[in-house]
Amino acid sequence: MAATLRIEPDAAFVKDVIANGGGDLKKCYQCATCTAACTLSTEARPFPRKQMIEAQWGLKEQLVSDPALWLCHNCGECSDRCPRGARPGDVMGALRRAAIRHFAFPSFMGRAVANAKALPALLLVPALIFAAIALYAPKGHVEEGARKFADVFPTNFIEPLFFVVAALALLGFAIGLSRFIAALRAGGADGAILAGLVPALALIFRHSRFKECKGKAGDRYLGHFLMFLGFVGLGVMGTIVGLGTMAGVMETPLAITNPLKIFANICALAVLIGSVMLLVHRSKLAATSTYFDWYFLLTLVLTAATGIASELLRLAQAAAWMYAVYFTHLVLIFTLFLYAPYSKFAHLVYRTVAIAAAEGRSTR
């Protein structure tokens, strides 16, 4: 802070932010109404005024290493209050997108997931994989009686495939995260992350920030909370069942009366209801939503919807439909997880770590 900082604006970065959600960035004239209005902004880490001028000056390094980007929960109150219509809330969203892209490994994935033109290719990959499994994988013994998904999509292919997907996603996250942490440290946020994780997670589980972060469009507390809990529940369930089937102690599909199954169904409903609530909320927002936003949210909604639909169709034993819908469901789960480190989904890691790093100690 004592040393003089040599400034060399990254003009391409400025233009990128403007083109991808921060269209009104240059209207900001630094009145700081946004920071004053933000309920989550603190004296120790105020935002988004500073991020606005740093974005205007193309200071990419400073911005991507700034935890404040992730302390924001996107309520849009700042955009509503801005007297110039500079939409700081949207700019923060665009900056988060730019940060995810910046830390993405491999970087071509980062570019692809953010680009609408790449969507067909991104969907084609899992579509081909699952089609191949359906057509060519040896099915094993098909029992008489009720049809099940494993008849077409054998578990001994699906489960390992998803573990590979999970591993790749984790690798992508790990590398992206290590870059992010290095950047955080370089930027001066040196809170002890591991120690900070406990209070951070407690905060997240209570969703206290969502309660405070309320814009004109109302709050997303309930929607996000339902979806979040449902997702965590399904994740836990999925892992248990996956491990169980691989170890041979469980057999899918579980009976509908099975407590695990009941729990899983409740979680699935929670995800569906929550994500639809968030979808409705986003469509009511005055803020501009970009492809980056819709891609994630629609993937979630459709995944939940196709999942529940698949189960219902299986219970109804609707032969042609159940496999088709399940196929779609598999493709969507694949994209959701494999592309997680490069899509908006990455917030789950970046935001958590940023909060932990910021909780650790207060800024200069």
Q: Does 27 bind another protein (CB under 8 A)?
A: yes
Binding segment for another protein (CB under 8 A), chosen from 23-31, 69-77, 181-189, 295-303, is 23-31
Shortest distance (Å) from residue 117 CB to another protein: 24
Shortest distance (Å) from residue 23 CB to another protein: 10
Return the structure tokens found at 350: 């970046």
Among 9, 140, 160, 218, binds another protein (CB under 8 A): 9
Helix or strand or coil: residue 215?
strand
Binding segment for another protein (CB under 8 A), chosen from 8-16, 180-188, 234-242, 261-269, is 8-16
Phi, psi for 255 (deg, rounded to 5): -65, 150
Binding segment for another protein (CB under 8 A), chosen from 48-56, 131-139, 272-280, 349-357, is 48-56
Among 1, 135, 194, 320, binds another protein (CB under 8 A): 1
Sign of torsion over alpha carbons 24, 26, 28, 34: positive
Integer Cα distance of 90 and 52 in angstroms = 10
Q: Does 5 bind another protein (CB under 8 A)?
A: yes
Binding segment for another protein (CB under 8 A), chosen from 14-22, 35-43, 190-198, 293-301, is 14-22
Q: Does 186 bind another protein (CB under 8 A)?
A: no
Residues 52, 28 contacting (CB under 8 angstroms): yes
Cα Rg of the chain (Å, integer): 22
Sequence length of the chain is 364
Q: Does 31 bind another protein (CB under 8 A)?
A: no
Site residue total, another protein (CB under 8 A):
24
Residues 310, 322 contacting (CB under 8 angstroms): yes
Return the structure tokens found at 183: 């950047």
Q: Which of 274, 266, 260 is nearest to 228 (CA)?
A: 274
Integer Cα distance of 105 and 109 in angstroms = 7
Shortest distance (Å) from residue 35 CB to another protein: 12
Q: Does 141 bind another protein (CB under 8 A)?
A: no
* Helix or strand run (H / E) with residue 124: helix 119-136
Q: Give the footprint of another protein on this chain (CB under 8 A).
A: 1, 3-9, 11, 14-15, 18, 26-27, 29-30, 50, 53-54, 56-59, 84
